[in-house]
Amino acid sequence: MAPTLNGEVDIVIPTIRSLNFLEDWRPFFEPYHLIIIQDGDPTKEIKVPEGFDYELYNRNDINRILGPKANCISFKDGACRCFGFLVSKKKFIYTIDDDCFVAKDPSGKEIDALAKHLENLTKPSTPYYFNTLYDPYREGADFVRGYPFSLRAGVPTAVSHGLWLNIPDYDAPTQLVKPLDRNTRYVDAVLTIPKGTLYPMCAMNLAFNRELIGAAMYFGIMGDGQPLGRYDDMWAGWCTKVVCDHLGYGVKTGLPYLWHSKASNPFVNLKKEYNGLFWQEEMIPFFQSVILPKKCTNAEECYLELAKQAKEKLGPVDPYFNNLADAMVTWIEAWEEFNAPAKVKNGTA
Which residues is 159 bridged to in the sheet? 208, 251
Cβ nearer to ligand LCYJ2WEX, comparing 90 with 230: 230
Q: Which stretch binds ligand LCYJ2WEX (CB under 6 A): 10-18, 189-197, 246-254, 320-328?
A: 10-18
Part of the chain binding Mn ion (CB under 5 A), chosen from 69-77, 92-100, 105-113, 265-273: 92-100
Closer by beta carbon to ligand LCYJ2WEX, 98 or else 305: 98
Asked if residue 136 binds ligand LCYJ2WEX (CB under 6 A), the reply is no
- Could you say whether residue 76 binds ligand LCYJ2WEX (CB under 6 A)? yes
Question: Least distance to ligand LCYJ2WEX from the beta carbon of 30, Å?
Answer: 19
* Interaction between residue 99 and ligand LCYJ2WEX (CB under 6 A): yes
171 lies in the binding site for ligand LCYJ2WEX (CB under 6 A): no
Question: Judged by CB under 5 A, does residue 99 bind Mn ion?
Answer: yes
Nearest residue (beta carbon) to ligand LCYJ2WEX = 78
Residues 6+ apart with CB under 8 A from 87: 35, 55, 57, 65, 338
Task: Write down the least CB distance from residue 56 to Mn ion, Å.
Answer: 20
Contact 134, 141 (CB under 8 A): yes
According to DSSP, the residues that pair with 36 across neighbouring strands are 13, 56
Residue 77 as a binder of ligand LCYJ2WEX (CB under 6 A): the answer is yes
Amino acid (1-letter code) at residue 273:
E
Fill in the per-residue mask, 17 to 56: x = in contact with ligand LCYJ2WEX (CB under 6 A), - = not in contact: x---------------------x-----------------
Of 6 and 264, which has the nearer Cβ to Mn ion?
264
CA distance 326 to 320: 10
Residue 281 CB-density burial (10 A; 0-12 exposed, 13-18 middle, 19+ buried):
exposed
DSSP strand pairing (205-209 vs 92-96): antiparallel
Classify 53 as helix, strand or coil: strand
- For position 261 contacting Mn ion by CB under 5 A, the verdict is no
Give the separation between CA 345 and CA 291, rounded to whole angstroms. Answer: 38
Output 77 or 301, the one with its CB closest to ligand LCYJ2WEX.
Answer: 77
- By CB under 6 A, is residue 15 in contact with ligand LCYJ2WEX? yes
- Which of the ranges 11-19, 55-63, 184-192, 280-288 carries the binding residues for ligand LCYJ2WEX, by CB under 6 A? 11-19
Beta-bridge mates of residue 92: 9, 209
Residue 159, CA distances (Å) to 7, 186, 278 in order: 19, 21, 27
Q: What are phi and psi of 65, to 5 degrees?
A: -75, -40
Out of 10, 233, 245, 300, the only residue in the binding site for ligand LCYJ2WEX (CB under 6 A) is 233
Nearest-angstrom CA–CA distance, 74 and 343: 30
Q: Measure the CA–CA gap between 113 and 223, rounded to whole angstroms.
A: 28
Buried b (16+ CB within 10 A) or exposed e, 53-80: ebeebbbebbbebbeebbbbbbbbbbbb
Is the Cβ of residue 167 or residue 207 nearer to Mn ion in the bound state?
Answer: 167
Bridge partners (DSSP) listed for residue 53: 33
Could you list the residues that contact Mn ion (CB under 5 A)?
Answer: 97, 99
Could you list the residues that contact ligand LCYJ2WEX (CB under 6 A)?
Answer: 14-17, 39, 76-78, 80, 97-99, 169, 202-204, 223, 230, 232-233, 262, 264
